[in-house]
Amino acid sequence: MPAKVVVIGSLNMDLVTRASRLPRAGETLIGQSFSTVPGGKGANQAVASARLGAEVAMVGCVGTDAYGAQLRDALLVEGIDCQAVSTVDGSSGVALIVVDDSSQNAIVIVAGSNGELTPAKLQTFDSVLQAADVIVCQLETPMETVGHALKRGRELGKTVILNPAPASGPLPEDWYAAIDYLIPNESEASALSGVVVDSLDSAKVAATHLIKAGAGKVIITLGSEGALFTDGQGFEHLVAPKVKAVDTTAAGDTFVGGFAAALANGKSESEAIRFGQAAAALSVTRAGAQPSIPTLHDVQGLVSS
C-alpha cells in the first residue's frame, strides 16, 4: 500500500489573470485572460502527493460559498481523504494571482475559512494524524495551529515537513525541534534566517543558520538553480532539470508534495529531492496551480528519459 501523507493547511480558490507584465503601484493593466483554479498551498501539496504515489488525507477548512464545494470536490476527484476538511460559515480562502509573460507571478491571499482551522479543530481529527507516516504543514493557516500540528507530529513520532510559506520573519524558536525537514525557497530562507539568499554560497550560510536554530534538515529550493540540502554535516547541491517555463504557480508546492510522497514511500533523501525536482520541472511547463501538477507516470517518464 502507498504510504500515508497527511497535509494540514490551506484550500484557496485561485483567481488567475495573465498580463504582459506585473502592474506597478497605482497602475491599471489590460489582462489577457482570467480563470478560477482550485489551489492553496495545502491543497496543492495534497494533490501533488496523491498524483505522485501517496495515499493522502487533507486537514483544512472551506467556506459555505460556492468555492467551498468546488475545493472539496477537487480533492475528492484525486482520491484524497477529506473527512478532516470542515465546512465553516463564511467565505472560502482565495488567492488573487497575476502571471506575466516571463511566467513570474504576484499573489495576494485572503485567508477566509483557512483562518478557522484552530488547534481545537485540529485536535478533533487527531486520529488522522495518528494514521500518518508523513505530516506536511505550511503557513497559510493560523500560526498557533501550525505550531500545534508540528509538535503533535513530533509527539507521534511522524516525519514532519514544514514548508514555511509565506514567510515574513523568523519562525517561533520552539518550532524548530519538531521539524524533520524545513523546506523554504530563497526569499523564505532569507526571511527566516536574516541572510540575503542570492547565491549558492549565501544559501549555505542561511541553511547553516536554520540548522543551528534546531531544524533537523534543511532543503532550500533555488528555482532553476536546483536545491541545496544539508543535515548539518555537509551540503549537497542538486541541479534542477532544464525546461521552458510557462507558469511557475504551484511549482514549490509540487516539489514539497513530490518530496513527501517519495520519502514516505521509502526513497532516500537525495532520491526524494530529485523526484520532487522532476515533478516541479514538469509543473512549470503547464498553466495553473493544481492543473499543472504531474502524475507519477509523467515523472517516471522524465526521470527515465
- Give the pLDDT score at 243: 87
Does residue 8 lie within any of the structural domains? no
Does residue 66 lie within any of the structural domains? no
List b or e across 160-192, with b for residues whose CB sees 16 or more CB atoms inside 10 angstroms. Answer: bbbbbbebeebbeeebbebbbbbbbbbebbbbb
The CATH number given to whatever domain includes residue 124 is: 3.40.1190.20
Does residue 151 lie within any of the structural domains? yes
- Give the pLDDT score at 304: 56
pTM of the shown model: 0.93
Catalytic residue list = 253
Q: Which domain holds residue 141?
A: 41-61+80-85+115-304
pLDDT in tens, the chain (305 residues): 567 999 999 999 999 999 999 999 999 999 999 999 899 999 999 999 999 999 999 999 999 999 999 999 999 999 999 999 999 999 999 999 898 998 788 888 899 999 999 999 999 999 999 999 999 999 999 999 999 999 999 999 999 999 999 998 999 999 999 999 999 999 999 999 999 999 999 999 999 999 999 999 999 999 889 999 999 999 999 998 888 888 777 899 999 999 999 999 999 999 999 999 999 999 999 877 788 999 999 898 776 55
- Give the pLDDT score at 303: 63
- Give the pLDDT score at 193: 97
Residue 168, CA distances (Å) to 23, 43, 67, 140 in order: 22, 21, 28, 12
Query: Can you tell me the distance from the alpha carbon of 212 to that of 218, in angstroms, rounded to the nearest whole number?
Result: 11
In total, how many domains does the chain have? Answer: 1
Does residue 103 lie within any of the structural domains? no
Does residue 182 lie within any of the structural domains? yes
Does residue 287 lie within any of the structural domains? yes
Does residue 93 lie within any of the structural domains? no
List for the chain the helix, strand, coil content (%; round to 5).
Answer: 40, 25, 35
Does residue 90 lie within any of the structural domains? no
**Adjacent-strand bridge partners of 233:** none
Query: Can you tell me the distance from the alpha carbon of 56 to that of 65, in angstroms, rounded to the nearest whole number?
Result: 25
